[in-house]
Chains A and B, each alone.
Chain A
């Protein structure tokens, strides 16, 4: 649905482009042999290369190259066999070299596309402008000392992929879906763990507004370093509203970098640094151009895993799922795997419902990921079997499910232990039905007078009397014949 802002002079639309910085999954850094593990003691994962000691030379990590190519292929993008590392020059305390080694004119990956799965089941294609490799900077801490900032270079030199979208996004919601989709693709590929809490995925958000129907772009502002999907969406919302106000009041939006403050829900201008954007890129003389051959790329392409879009299509065809359900399931590789294990050879729609409603609900409440689920896919499948063959009613299934979530036990064992098997013995059900009718003559008369609601009430009474173990449909049929037959 279109995201539009109404104002005195008309209806505005938002134009958004994202630069996503994704940390490449690798053991060692991009140009040195230091480890990349998160959360290590300060400055323990730093080599003399990372600390930019004189005379140290960078040597590229082959896995980082492979991960960038793999990600490019996952974005249906052109892989550039020739790419060049350049120096992006600026001074900052957490950048010991005085420049960041990045790619500029010749990135390793060119144009591609990402398909967004919209909540209404439709899809939308977003263009990728490029993907290039670069070094991460170190971490600055400004709140530890009144006069000094503390610097930890553990992250300095870790390989990032900067993925630049075309200005194709039109709403905060789309931007959120786009980032989630990128993360999903990279997790499938194993090229980035997508962990936003640990800073593995961060975004610079470019926002401009224009009157609906306009085709030219107005001046944009760049909101730096937003580190959660929710904040990305909020930042766009408040920045777009701010820009509409600026234009409305007769002023002009200026091109600048801004900072999103989630506590105050506003963006504000970062101190305008004169010449800040004069990075004076030039090819890094310490590094030769990166030249790949097509067979290398083809080999990586041949070994790509099934990606979310292909999996989604397969789920729709093989399991008869709706586009929406399939989209939800494939967003996360582990969820998709869980679903396939639980649904294989069973009623897929029932499996989706139990997975997305019951299991997701319980996991959410417990703050757990699907990989930490106390209920295994095999056990959930087992529960579906017990439902399908009539061993338990769907009401009992809910209780069994809760018990499974508590104890991780096999559903068949729980049913056996607690005597929850559905009563299929018609004699026992008949007895319970008759007992209910005899003790409630008033309600029985109501049913005979044609009050169908009262039938439901009787079903409830019988279910209660049998601790939910009677088959509700059988109960209903019996009541019908006894009272109306």
Chain B
């Protein structure tokens, strides 16, 4: 698998990262070398091996259904670039 300039442009758009056209080619090269490195793993025979999602041999911890948080309106809004009363305000979203 290898990425071309258009793939990189698309990935950048999806991640909302602005890149100049001149950066596309070098980025494609970099990403391709990462992919190539990861693809080496494909050489290992994994027949009968369960996919591993975590190195920790444990069950996911769960919380009781209790209200222990919230009511920190000023804290959560503290970094908002713009606000109106206790709402976040963002440039108008049309759809």
Which residues from chain A sit less than 8 Å from chain B, CB to CB? 26-28, 32-35, 41-51, 53, 59-65, 84, 89, 91-93, 140-142, 144-153, 259, 270-271, 275, 278, 280, 283, 287-291
Q: Are B14 and A35 in contact, CB atoms less than 8 angstroms apart?
A: no
Q: Choose from A46, A84, A259, A288 the contact partner of B76 (Cβ within 8 Å).
A: A46
Q: Nearest Cβ in chain A — how far from B60, in angstroms?
A: 4
B69 close to chain A: CB less than 8 A: yes
**Shortest Cβ distance from residue B80 to the other chain A in the assembled complex, whole angstroms:** 9
Partner of B70, one of A47, A145, A270, A290: A47
Of chain B, the residue at the smallest CB distance from A62 is B62
Report which of B14, B66, B92 forms a contact with A148, defined as CB distance below 8 A.
B92
Q: Do B66 and A33 have beta carbons less than 8 Å apart?
A: yes
For B14, give its contact among A59, A93, A259, A278 (CB under 8 Å): A278
A145 CA / B68 CA spacing, docked (Å): 34
- Distance of A64 Cα from B68 Cα, bound (Å): 16
Check if B63 sits within 8 Å of A145, measured CB to CB.
no
* Chain A proximity of B41: nearest CB distance (Å): 16
**Residue B77 at the A interface, CB < 8 A?**
yes
Say whether chain B's binding surface is mostly helix, strand, loop, or mixed: loop
Given contact pairs A28-B67, A28-B69, A147-B92, a sample of 18 additional A-B residue pairs in the complex whose CB atoms are under 8 Å apart: A26-B65, A27-B65, A28-B63, A28-B65, A34-B70, A42-B73, A42-B86, A43-B87, A45-B71, A47-B70, A92-B93, A93-B90, A93-B93, A148-B89, A148-B92, A150-B88, A151-B89, A278-B14
Q: Are A288 and B56 in contact (CB under 8 A)?
A: yes
Knowing A47-B72, A84-B53, A278-B14 are in contact, say whether A141-B87 is a contact too (CB < 8 A): yes
* A151 touches which of B67, B69, B87 (Cβ 8 Å): B87
Q: List CB contacts (< 8 Å) of B32-86 with chain A.
A: 53-54, 56, 58-73, 75-77, 82, 84-86
Bound CA span A288–B70, Å: 25
Contact of A275 among B14, B71, B91 (CB under 8 A): B14
Q: A288 contacts B63, CB within 8 Å?
A: no
Give the distance to chain B from A343, nearest Cβ to Cβ, in Å. Answer: 36
Nearest CB in chain A: distance from B46 CB, A? 17
The reply to whether B76 and A51 form a contact with Cβ atoms under 8 Å apart is yes
Please state if A142 and B92 are interface contacts (CB–CB under 8 Å).
yes
Q: Which residue of B lies closest to A51 (CB)?
A: B76
Minimal beta-carbon separation of A336 from chain B (angstroms): 27
B residues within 8 A CB of A28?
63, 65-69
B residues within 8 A CB of A146?
92
**Complex CA–CA separation, A75 to B76 (angstroms):** 39
- On whether A27 and B69 interact (CB within 8 A), knowing A91-B16, A145-B84, A149-B93, the answer reads no
Main secondary structure of the interface of A (DSSP, over half): loop
A contact residues around B13 at 8 Å (CB): 275
20 pairs, A vs B, C-beta closer than 8 Å: A28-B68, A32-B69, A33-B68, A41-B86, A42-B73, A42-B87, A43-B87, A44-B71, A46-B72, A51-B76, A59-B61, A62-B65, A63-B64, A148-B82, A149-B89, A153-B88, A275-B10, A278-B14, A280-B14, A288-B53
Give Cα A91–Cα B13 distance, bound, in whole angstroms. Answer: 11
Contact A271 B95, beta carbon cutoff 8 Å: yes
Distance in Å: Cβ of B89 to nearest Cβ of chain A: 5
Tell me if B14 and A49 are in contact (CB < 8 A).
no
Query: In the assembled complex, which residues on chain B have CB atoms less than 8 Å from the CB atom of A64?
Result: 65
Structural contact, A34 and B69, CB atoms closer than 8 A: yes
- Known contacts being A149-B92, A153-B76, A275-B10, is A288 close to B54, with CB within 8 Å? yes
Q: Which residues on B sit within 8 Å (CB–CB) of A150? A: 84, 87-89
Q: How far is the CB of B57 from chain A (nearest CB, A)?
A: 10
Whether B91 contacts A33 by the Cβ 8 Å rule is: no
Given contacts A51-B76, A149-B93, contact A62 B63 (CB under 8 A): yes
Q: Is the CB of B88 within 8 A of A47?
A: no
Q: Nearest chain A CB to B21's CB is how many angstroms away?
A: 18
CA of A57 to CA of B93 in the docked complex: distance in angstroms? 28
In the complex, which of the residues B10, B75, B89 contacts A145, with contact meaning CB atoms closer than 8 Å? B89
Contact of B94 among A34, A43, A84, A271 (CB under 8 A): A271
Q: For B63, list chain A residues within 8 Å (CB).
A: 28, 33, 59-62
Contact residues in A for B16 (Cβ distance below 8 Å): 91
Output the residue of B13, B62, B70, B82 with the most chain A CB within 10 A. Answer: B70
Bound-complex Cα distance A152 to B86 (A): 8
Query: A290 with B87: in contact, given A27-B67, A84-B53, A149-B92 (CB under 8 Å)?
Result: no
Which A residues are in CB contact (< 8 Å) with B76?
43, 46-48, 50-51, 53, 153
The reply to whether A140 and B93 contact each other, CB–CB distance below 8 Å, is yes
Alpha-carbon distance between A44 and B95 when the two chains are bound, in angstroms: 26
Which residues of B lie under 8 Å from residue A50 when comparing CB positions? 76
